[in-house]
Structure 1
Amino acid sequence: MTHRLDPLLQPRSIALIGASNNPGRIGGMPLDLLRHFGYAGAVYPVNPKYDEVFGYRCWPDVESLPEAPDLVVVAIGAEEVTATLQRCHAKGARAAIVYAAGFAEAGEQGAALQRELEAFAQRSGMVVAGPNCMGFANLNLQAHTAFASVFRAVPPQTEPGRVSIVTQSGNVCSAVFALMRRLGVPVSQFINTGNEACVEFSEYLQFLAQDPQSDCVIGYVEQLRHGPRFIEAALAFAQAHKPLVIYKAGETEKGSEAVRSHTSALAGDLAIYQAAFEQLNVIRGTDFAQMADLAYLSGFRQRQGGRRVAIVTMSGALGAILADKFIAAGLDVPTLSDGLQQQLRAGIPDYGMVANPVDVTGNVVNSPEFVRTVFESLAQTPEVDVVVVYAPGYLLDRMADAMAEVCARHPRLFVAIDTGAAQSRQCLAAAGVPVFDDIGRASQALAPFCRWLHAQPAVQRWAALRASAQAPASAEALPARLNEHDTKQALAVHGVPFPPERVAADADAAVAAATALGYPVVVKVLSADIAHKTEVGGVRLALANEAQVRAACEAIAASVAQHAPQAKVDGYLVQPMVGGGVAELIAGVTHDPVFGPALTVGLGGVLTELYRDVSHRLLPVDAAMADDMLRSLKAWPLLDGFRGRPVADVAAAAAAIESLSRAALALGPQASEIEVNPLLVRAVGEGAAALDALIVTAP
C-alpha cells in the first residue's frame, strides 16, 4: 500500500541542494552519513562549486540531474527555499526536507515566508517536511537526511529496526535515539517534524501506524495541530497492538480563563490532553530514559499481561520496596489465594513470604528445581497478570533456565530485575523475558506498559462506540439565545432527565404554576443573559405557599435589576423543590480546540471549581464509561454508601451522562458549552434529576 509520505520516509533517491564537502556543515554531514552507512539508492549532491563530494558526483543545479529524485534536501537560506522548491517540483521531485530556520518562529517576516511555502505545497502537492527541521533517517535503508552526529556516536545497528521516533524537537530526537541504541533497541525511523508547515505530527503517526517496520513509536510533542487526525492515528496503533509513547511538553494550564460555564474552567488544555491520552491508550512519557525503556519493553508486547503483579524475590526487603513502587505507579499487587499460597509454601521456609510478594529466600540455592514449580504456578494462575522476578547476578542465572522453559509454555509476561551481573540476560530476553538492571527504572517503565496491556480492550471498545455514534448530517438548529427552559427542552429530547417545570411571565403566573406543580417549589429568574443565577440573587428555594412565591418574585426582580441591569429577563421558572439527593454532580461538554467535544464529570454544587474533583473523556461516552468516570472520582465514596449514607443510583446518573453525550453530538459545535449543574443523584432505585442546565452557543 502506498502512502503520500513514502518518498519522504522511504526514498529511493536523494538530492541535497547546498551540498558541502565539509562533514561538519549541515550540507555535508548527511552526505558523509549516506556514504559511511552505505545507502543503496542514488545520491545527487547539488552545488556548482564542486565536481565531487564524498565520492558522489556533484551537479551544478537541479535541472541538470539525470533523473527526478524522490526526495530533495534543501540546505539553503529561508529566503531562497520556496523558489528552489518550485524548480525541484518542475524537475519532478516528489518530496522535500527544509532545514532552514527563519520561518514562522522568526516574526512577521518569517511568518510570511512560511505562508508562501505552505501555499506552494498546497498548490503543487509536493510533500514538504519542516522548515526548521533537522531531517530524518530511515535506518533500515540507511537513508540519512539528518544533520546529526549522533549516528556515529552510538553502537552500530546490525538488526532490522522496529521502533520509530518522531519528535517536534531535533535535540530530543537525538537524545532518545542515543538512549535507545545504548539499550540495543533497533530503530527504524528517526523523524524530526520541525515547524510542520505542510506535514504535521499526526500524519507521521498515521504512516508509522501502518508501517510494518515500526512496532512501537516514541514521540515528543509540544502542541498537536490536528486532534482528530491524532485520534485516528492512536486508534490505528491500538488496532495494530503497537505501543504509542508520547512525551507532552508544556504541561501547564493554558486558555482556561473562566468563561460562562464551570465546565470550561475545569477542562483546561492539560486536563484534556491527559484524558485523551488515557482514553486512547497512549503511554505518557515522563523522561527520556523511561521512554527508551518502554521502547525496549515494546519488543515483548505479544506477551500477555495486565495490572496485577506477582513479585518473586529472595529478599523480603526488596519485595516490599517493589510492592510499594508498583502500587504507587498504579498497579495492583494482589494477595494470593490460600490454595496458591499452600502450593508455594511446599518449597518455601516458614520465614519466607508467600502471600505476594513471594520470598523464595536463599533456599533457592539449595533447591533450584522448586523455583520451576513457583514459576509454573504463577504462570498459570488467573490471580495475576505479570510476574516480576528480582534476583541479582548468579541467583538469576540459577533461575534462568526454569524461567525460559516456563515462558516457552505459557504466554504470561515475566520480567527479571538483575542488579548484579547475570550472564543469562541475553538468553532470557531471547526467551521473551525483558531484563532490567535497576529497580526504579524497571518500575517506571513496567507500570505504564502493564497499564497499556490492560487497557487494550477498553480502547478497542471505545473505537467501536465512536464508529457507531456517527454525527448527524446536520446539527439540530439552536436559537442564538437560550434561557434555562430552552436549554432543558433541547437536552430533554435526548434523554437528559429534568423535573417538571413551568415558565411564568409574572408573579400571578408563578403562583398558578406553583399550585399546579405542588408545593414546595423553587422560583428562578429566566434569562439567557444570566449564566449563574445564584450570583445575582436569582434563585429562591423551598417556597411553601402563595405568599412566599410572590415575595420571591419581587425579591428576585429587585436583585437582578441591581446586579444584572443589562440582562433581558424572560420571566420566572417554577419547578418542584427536589430533595432526597445522595450527591450533587456536575456534567458538562466543552469543545476542546485540539480534540473536539469532551465531557467532564465531577462533584457538583457551589464548590465545584474549588475541589476540582473531575474526570474527563472524549465523546462519545456511554453509560459504562460514565460509570468508570464516577468511580474514578475522589468523591466516589459519597456515592457508594460512605459511613452509612444511602448508596446512590449510579446507574441512573450514568444513563443521564450518556444522554448528555448523545445530546452534545446531536447539537454539534454550535453548542460550544453544555452544562448540567447540579445533577442530583438519589438513592438506588430513585433515579437522578438534572436541576439546572446551560448551553452556550458558538459565536
Structure 2
Amino acid sequence: MNASSASEATRLNLVEALHGAQSIAIIGASNVGTKASGRTQRYLRRYGFQGRIYPVNPNSPTVQGEVAYPSVSALPEVPDIVVIVLPATAIEQAVRECGEAGASLAIVFASGFAEMGEEGAKAQELVVQAARSTGIRVLGPNSVGAVSFGNSVITTFMTGVDQDRFEPEDHKIGFVSQSGAMGGFILNLAQSQHIGVGTFISTGNEADLALPEVMQQLVDEGETKVLLAYVEGVRDGEAFTDALASALDAGIPVGLLKVGRSERGAHAAASHTGTLAGSDVVFDGLFREHGAQRAESVEDLLDLARVFSSPRRPKGNGVSIVTLSGGAGVLMTDIAEDLGLSIFAWDEPWQARLQEVLPTFAATGNPIDVTGAIAADLMILDDAVRIALENPDTDQAIVLLGNLEPEEDAICALLLERAAKSDKPLLVTWVGGSGKPQKVLSAGGLPTFTDPARTMRAAAASVRWAMTKQQRELERGECLPVAGIKAARELIQEAEGTGTITLDEVISKRVVEAVGISVVEESQAHSAENTADAAYSMGYPVVVKLLSDEVPHKSELGVVRMGLRDRAAVLEAVASILDIAASHGVTDRRLVVQRQLDNDIEIILGTSQDDTFGTTVLVGIGGVSAEVLPDVQVRLAPVSVAEARRMIEALRGVKLLRGVRGRRGVDEGALAESIARLSSLAAALSESILSIDLNPLLVLEDGRPVAVDALVVLRPSVD
C-alpha cells in the first residue's frame, strides 16, 4: 500500500465502516483461533464475511490459512477497518502507522490505559495524539470491539459470539455499550431470544469515539430502527442530548440501561435545588424530555427492544386485554393503572359484538375473559382478538395465554396473521408451556413475554414514547422570550462588584421578579421599630426574618418567626432574631417583614449547574417530606411552557397541586410560565449564576404561585 493510495482513501465514520466494510486488517493476528488475538479472524470466517481479510504478523507467512503481511504499510490496499490486537505498549505506534497509511478506523482491544490510573491515562493521551495527527478514528482502547451481523463484520474477541446455538438476526437494532463485558452478555442473550441486535459497539475507554457520537452515527446512518445503550457516564452532555433529540425526530425509539447514581459536587451544598437535582435525576429528566425509555434491568432493556422492534405504535393509552384467565386480567389491570395505561370500559355496542362470538359465560367487558373454551375452539380467540383490535378506543391489544401446548402452533399462526392485518400493536403474554410460542412469535415480529408485569411495562413504555413523539411534532414549543434579563443582569453585576457569592433574600427576589416571577409582599427594616411599623402597614399576620448575606439558610439558624399577629409579637420576634444572630457572630443583621400566606401547598422551584449537562431547572413538591421522599422533575434549561407543563404532570404528587378535599389548587399555567421564565433567566446568565432556589412557592387565592423565599448563589470569581 503506497502513500498515494493511503492519501486517497475515503475516511468513513465508525458505523459506515462497520456496515460497508469490504476489507479488514488484523494487526497482531494469531494462528491460534481460541486466543483473543486469533478470535476476530476466526469469527469473520465462521459468520461468513465475504470481504478480504489481511492478517498482519511479521513472524508468519500465513495466519489461519490467510496470507499474512509484515506491516500495515505492506498491505495491497487501505483496509476499511483495522483491528489492533497488540499489547498496550505497542498501541501508540500501531495507531500512528495505520493513520499514516490512510486507514479510517482502528479498533483497539488492549487494556492498561486510563482505567489503570495516571500512568495509563498518559499512555492513552499519546494514542489520542497519534490518532489526531494522522486523522484516524479510534474505538477504544479497552474495547471488546464491534459487530455488524448484517454483513458478518465480527470485529471482536468476545466469547459471546463463540457459539452454535443461534444464527444471528439483524432487526436493525443498534446497541452501544460502555461496558464491554455487560454489552457482550446482553448481545448474546438478545440473539438467543430472537431479538435481532444487528449492530453492537463497545466504546471502551472512549479515548476518541464516545457513546454520544456513536449513537448519533447510528441515528444518522438511516437504517437503525431501535437504539439501545448501556450507559455508565457521559462526558459530553450536549452531544448526548443532541443524539437523543435526533433519535426522537427520526422516529427511532431509544432504550437505555443507565447505571451509577453519582453524587453531586461540593457546590451543591449551597443549594437545596442542587442537592435534589443529583446527576441521576438530570438523566431521568433528559430521558423524559426526549422520549428515551429507561430500563431498570437487562430484562427490561431487552423487553424494550422487543416492543420497539414492532413497527406499530399506539396512538394513545387505551388497552384492550384478551385473556383466558380472569385472575390474570385483574393482575394486568392493577399493573396498568400504576403505569398510566387505561384498561377502558367497552361500551354496549362493542360488548354486544363480543357476545355474538364468545360463550355465554365469558366476560365481555375489559379485560375480555375468553375462558379455557378456546382450547376446543380457536375461533373464539381469533374473533375476540379481531374485535379488540377493531374497537376504535383500542390503541393496543394484549393477549394473555398459558400452557396450551397441543394448540401452540395453531395459536401462533392465528396471532401472527391477526397482527399482520392490523395497524395497531398486538402484544402477547404466554405463561408456562413449552417456551416455543415465545420463540415463534418473536421471530415473526410479534412482541411476546412470559410475565404479565413485563408485558405491561413494555406496553407503557411504547405509549410514553409515542406520546412524546406526538407532542414534539404538534407543539414544537419555543422558550419564552423573557423580558427583564438585562435588569436581572445589572442586579447581579452590582452584587458581584461587592464580592458577595450568596445574594440576600430581598435581592434574590428582585432578580427573579425582574423576569416576571411573582414574589411575596415584603419590606426591609433596620431596627425593631422599623419592622413593627412595616408590619402594621402591611397588615397582620406577618413573618419576620433575618436578612443577611452571611446566612443563606435562615431556618437552620432559627431566625424566622411566623404567625405574628400584633406589634408586641413583632418586637419580641425581632429581639430574639437579633440575639441569635449576634450569638453566632453574624455582623450583617438586617430584617425583612413579609405578609404571611397560609395554604396547604408548597412548591420547590430552582435551577442549578450540572457538571455534565450545564444549566438545569427543577420543580417539585415541597414541605417536610421534600428531602426524605423527593418528588421532583428536572430538565435542561431553558424549557418551553409546554415542557414545563409536562414537568408538572410528571410529578407523583400532581394531584396535591390540583387541590384535594376542597383545598386550593395551583394555576398550572401560571406555574408552568414561572418554570419557563426561571429556566430562561438561569440559562441566559449561566456565566454568573450557580443556582437559584425559590423554596417555597406558595399559592394565592387566585391560584397564582408566589415566591416567599429566594436564594441566588453566584459563581465564585476566577482570579
- Say yes or no: TM over 0.5: yes
Where does residue 573 of structure 1 map in the other structure?
Answer: 592
User: Does 2:393 align with 1:383?
Assistant: yes
CA distance in 2, matches of 1:73, 1:117: 15
User: Which residue is equivalent to 2:7?
Assistant: none
State the SS of the aligned residue for 2:36.
coil
Partner of 1:410: 422
Aligned partner letter, 1:620 = P
Give the alignment of 1:398-547 within 5 angstroms. Answer: 403=415, 406-418=418-430, 419-420=432-433, 433-437=446-450, 439=452, 441-458=454-471, 460=473, 464-465=476-477, 476=489, 478=492, 479-480=495-496, 481=500, 482-507=503-528, 509-511=530-532, 513-514=534-535, 517-544=538-565
Is the 1:22–1:28 Cα contact (8 Å) retained in structure 2?
Answer: yes
CA distance in 2: counterparts of 1:274 and 1:326, whole angstroms: 21
2:296 alignment partner, SS class: coil
Q: CA deviation at 1:76?
A: 1.7
d(CA) in 2 for partners of 1:42, 1:34: 10
Tell me which moved more, 198-207 or 634-643. Answer: 634-643
Distance 2:416 2:675 in 1: 48
* Contact 1:539–1:556 (Cα < 8 Å) also in 2: yes
Q: In structure 1, the residue corresponding to 2:187 is in which secondary structure?
A: helix
Are 1:687 and 2:696 an aligned pair? no
Distance 1:178 1:329, change over 3 A: farther
Q: Distance in 2 between matches of 1:644 and 1:21?
A: 79
The alpha carbon displacement at 1:358 in A equals: 0.4
Distance 1:583 1:473 in 2: 29
Q: Structure 1 pair 586/39, CA: closer, same or farther in 2 (3 Å)?
A: same
- The letter for the 2-side match of 1:676 is L
Contact (CA 8 Å) 1:139, 1:161: kept in 2 or not? no
Per-residue deviation at 1:508?
A: 5.1
* Aligned counterpart for 1:268 among listed residues 267, 278, 302: 278
Give the conservation status (yes or no) of the 8 Å contact 1:157–1:186.
Answer: no
More displaced 10-residue stretch of structure 1: 510-519 or 468-477: 468-477
| Structure 2 gaps, min length 5 | 1-9
Query: Shift of residue 52 of structure 1?
Result: 1.1
Query: How far did 1:256 drift?
Result: 8.0
User: Counterpart of 1:4?
Assistant: 13
Cα distance between partner residues in 2 of 1:401 and 1:49: 57
Q: Give the one of 204, 211, 220 matched to 1:194.
A: 204
Find the aligned partners of 1:644 and 1:519 in 2 and give their Cα distance. 25
Tell me if the contact between 1:256 and 1:265 (Cα under 8 Å) persists in the aligned partners. no
**Shift of residue 306, structure 1, vs aligned partner:** 4.5
**Distance (Å, rounded) in 1 between the aligned partners of 2:137 and 2:484:** 34
Equivalent residue, structure 1, for 2:105: 95
Tell me how far 1:253 sits from its aligned partner.
Answer: 5.3
Contact 1:256–1:266 at 8 Å: present in 2 too? no
Alignment check: 8 A CA contact 1:676 1:690 kept: yes
The aligned residue for residue 583 of structure 1 is 601
Matched residue, 1:697: 714
Amino acid in the other structure paired with 2:710: A
Choose 333-342 or 77-86, whichever is displaced more.
333-342
Residue matched to 2:4:
none
Q: Which amino acid aligns with 1:665?
A: A
Structure 1 position 30, deviation (Å): 0.8
Distance 1:91 1:465, change over 3 A: same
Residues 1:141 and 2:141 aligned together: no
Contact conserved, 1:649 with 1:682, CA < 8 A, in 2?
no
Aligned residues: 694
Instruction: Output the amino acid matched with 1:681.
Output: V
Alignment TM-score, normalising by the size of structure 2: 0.87
5+ residue gaps in structure 1? none
Structure 2: distance between partners of 1:467 and 1:517: 36
| 1:304/1:411 contact within 8 Å kept | no
- Relative to 1, partners in 2 of residues 1:73 and 1:679: Cα closer, same or farther, differing over 3 Å? same
**Percent of paired sites with the same residue:** 32
Aligned residue type for 1:269: S
Partner of 2:327: 317
Deviations 1:303-357 (A, max 9, x none): 4354332111222233233334444555332332344333323333443222211
**Partner amino acid for 2:427?**
V
Contact 2:484 2:514 in 1 (8 A): no
Question: Secondary structure, in 3 states, of the residue corresponding to 1:271?
Answer: helix
Measured in 1, the distance between the counterparts of 2:110 and 2:56 equals 17
The 8 Å contact of residues 320 and 367 in structure 2, kept in 1 or not, is answered as yes
Say if 2:232 is the partner of 1:222.
yes
Distance 1:540 1:48 in 2: 83
Q: Residue 667 of structure 1 is aligned with which of 679, 682, 685? A: 685
Q: Which moved more, 1:508-517 or 1:171-180?
A: 508-517
Worse-superposed segment, 107-116 or 508-517: 508-517
1:492-536 deviation line (CA, Å, top 9, x unaligned): 122111123333344454455445544544332222232111222
Partner Cα separation in structure 1 for residue 655 and residue 303 of structure 2? 37
TM-score by length of 1: 0.89
The one of 208, 225, 228 equivalent to 2:218 is 208
Task: Let me know the Cα RMSD of the aligned residues.
Answer: 3.4
